[in-house]
C-alpha cells in the first residue's frame, strides 16, 4: 500500500499517535501551575501561539489575515511556538494554545501571565475528564468563545442591482445543491449562481459560476436576492459574509447556525424546507428587508470589534 500511494501521488496517512496530546497525562496527574498576576511589560503585547506536535499546523499565525492586521493596530504581535519549544512561550504576555490538542502543553507551562485556547475545529481530547473546565476560549461564540463576529472588508453592501430571479448557492454541501435542483424543477424562471465550488462542476441545473476571491464573491452576494449558505464553520463562515453584504440567507438549522445567525437567516432542516424558505423570501420584500437589518446587526463588517474584544481579553484575563 505505501508503494501504491506513492505511485498515485497520495500523501501517507497521518498516524493517530501524531495527534495525541502526550502532556495530558501529566496534566491530569499534577494539575496546572497557577498564572502569575502581572501587567504586560513591553512596548507591544507579545502573544505566543503554541502549536501542538503533529500535522495540524495553522497558516500564518492561525488568525484571519485582516484580524491580524487589526490586532497590529493595537500593538499586538503574534508569534508561533511549536510543541518541542513550548517553554519559549513562557515569557510571553499571553500564551494561546492553537486548539484544544495544544492546550495540555500550555496548561503545564509555569509562570504564565495569561493563557487561553484559540478556537479551532479540533475537539478537546478526553474532555469528559473535566480538564477543560475554566480554560478561556478565544474565538467567536459559535466556536465556544465570546468574541463578536468579524468579516473581511470586501464583504459590504454594493451599489449593484439585485436580480430578483437570482438565487446563489455557496459550496458543495448536499443541502444547498439539492435545494437548488428542487427550485429549478419548481421554478424554471429562476436563475442560479454557484460560488465556492470546483471549476467546471457538473450540476443538474444551469448556473453562473462565480470566480474565486473575496471581491467576486462579495459582488455575487450583493447581486443575488437569496443565498443558500453552507454550515457555519471556522472564524469566517460564508453565511456571515452574506449577511454583511445585505443578503437574505437560508442556512442549515444546526447549533452553530443558531448561535451565529439567530433570527437573521432562515434555518432549515433539509433541501425541501430550504427550497420553501427561498421561495418565501423571493416573494416577500418586507421579510428580506427585515432580515437585512438583522443581518447587519450580526455582521456589521470588518474585524475592529473582534480585535478590540481580543485585546481586552488579553489585558484583563479571567
Rounded (10°) angle between helices 304-315 and 65-72: 60
Predicted structure pTM score: 0.88
Rounding to the nearest 10 degrees, give the CA dihedral for residues 135, 138, 143, 146: 100
309, burial (CB in 10 Å: exposed 0-12, middle 13-18, buried 19+): middle
Residue from 277, 71, 257 nearest 243 by CA:
257
- Is residue 277 one of the residues assigned to a domain? yes
pLDDT for position 87: 81
- Name 232's Cβ contacts closer than 8 Å, sequence gap at least 6: 142, 239, 240, 251, 254, 256, 257, 259, 260, 261
The CATH number assigned to the domain holding 246 equals 3.40.50.2000
Same-domain check for residues 45 and 84 = yes
Distance CA 94, CA 116 (A): 8
Same domain, 131 and 113: yes
- DSSP SS3 for 193: strand
Pair (167, 80) in one structural domain: no
Residues in the chain where the model's pLDDT stays below 70: 1-18, 41, 53-61, 83-84, 318
Task: Determine the pLDDT at residue 11.
Answer: 53
Residue 18 is assigned to a structural domain of this protein: no
Place of cell 437569496: 226
- Summarised one tens digit per residue, pLDDT across range 282-292 is 999 999 999 99
Secondary structure letter of residue 172 according to DSSP: S
User: Under 8 Å CB-to-CB from 173, ≥6 apart: which residues?
Assistant: 230, 231, 252
Q: What was the pLDDT predicted at 60?
A: 64
Q: Write down the pLDDT at residue 55.
A: 54
| Judgement on whether residues 171 and 277 belong to the same structural domain of the protein | yes
**Do the domain assignments include residue 283?**
yes
pLDDT digits (tens, 9 = 90+) for 9-59: 555 544 455 578 889 999 999 999 999 877 776 789 999 999 986 656 666
Query: What does the alpha-carbon distance between residue 190 and residue 181 come to, in Å, rounded to a whole number?
Result: 11
141 and 167 inside one domain: no
| pLDDT at res. 6 | 45
Name the DSSP class of 88.
G
52 occurs within a structural domain? yes
| Count of residues making up the chain | 318
Does 93 lie in the same domain as 70?
yes
Residues 171 and 292 in one domain: yes
Q: How far apart are CA 258 and CA 12, in angstroms?
A: 38
Residues 213 and 65: their CA atoms lie apart, in Å, by: 14
The predicted pLDDT at position 1 comes to 46
Give the chain's domain count: 2
Please count the other Cβ atoms lying within 10 Å of the Cβ belonging to residue 269.
11
Q: Confirm whether 21 is domain-assigned.
A: no
Residue 41 is predicted with a pLDDT of 66
d(CA 171, CA 217): 12
Q: How far is CA 299 from the centre of its chain?
A: 13
Range of the domain at 197: 163-298
Q: Is residue 223 part of a domain?
A: yes
Amino acid at each position: 500500500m505505501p508503494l501504491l500511494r506513492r505511485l498515485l501521488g497520495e500523501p501517507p496517512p497521518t498516524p493517530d499517535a501524531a495527534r495525541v496530546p502526550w502532556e495530558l497525562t501529566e496534566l491530569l496527574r499534577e494539575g496546572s501551575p497557577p498564572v502569575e498576576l502581572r501587567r504586560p511589560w513591553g512596548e507591544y503585547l507579545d502573544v505566543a501561539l503554541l502549536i501542538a506536535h503533529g500535522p495540524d499546523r495553522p497558516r500564518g499565525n492561525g488568525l484571519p489575515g485582516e484580524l491580524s492586521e487589526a490586532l497590529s493596530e493595537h500593538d499586538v504581535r503574534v508569534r508561533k511556538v511549536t510543541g518541542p519549544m513550548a517553554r519559549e512561550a513562557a515569557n510571553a504576555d499571553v500564551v494561546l494554545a492553537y486548539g484544544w490538542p495544544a492546550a495540555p502543553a500550555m496548561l503545564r507551562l509555569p509562570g504564565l501571565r495569561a493563557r487561553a485556547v484559540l478556537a479551532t475545529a479540533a475537539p478537546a481530547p478526553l474532555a469528559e475528564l473535566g480538564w477543560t473546565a475554566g480554560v478561556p476560549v478565544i474565538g467567536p461564540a459559535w466556536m465556544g468563545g465570546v468574541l463578536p463576529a468579524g468579516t473581511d472588508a470586501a464583504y459590504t453592501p454594493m451599489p449593484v442591482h439585485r436580480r430578483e430571479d437570482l438565487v446563489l448557492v455557496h459550496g458543495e454541501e448536499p443541502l444547498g445543491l439539492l435545494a437548488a435542483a428542487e427550485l429549478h424543477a419548481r421554478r424554471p424562471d429562476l436563475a442560479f449562481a454557484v460560488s465556492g465550488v470546483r471549476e467546471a462542476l457538473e450540476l443538474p441545473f444551469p448556473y453562473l459560476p462565480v470566480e474565486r476571491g473575496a471581491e467576486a464573491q462579495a459582488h455575487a452576494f450583493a447581486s443575488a436576492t437569496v443565498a443558500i449558505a453552507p454550515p457555519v464553520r471556522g472564524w469566517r463562515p460564508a453565511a456571515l459574509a452574506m449577511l454583511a453584504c445585505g443578503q437574505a440567507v437560508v442556512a442549515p438549522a444546526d447549533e452553530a447556525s443558531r448561535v451565529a445567525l439567530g433570527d437573521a437567516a432562515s434555518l432549515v432542516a433539509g433541501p425541501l424546507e430550504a427550497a420553501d424558505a427561498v421561495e418565501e423570501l423571493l416573494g416577500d420584500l418586507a421579510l428580506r428587508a427585515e432580515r437585512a437589518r438583522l443581518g447587519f446587526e450580526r455582521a456589521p463588517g470588518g474585524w475592529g470589534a473582534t480585535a478590540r474584544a481580543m485585546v481586552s481579553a488579553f489585558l484583563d484575563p479571567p
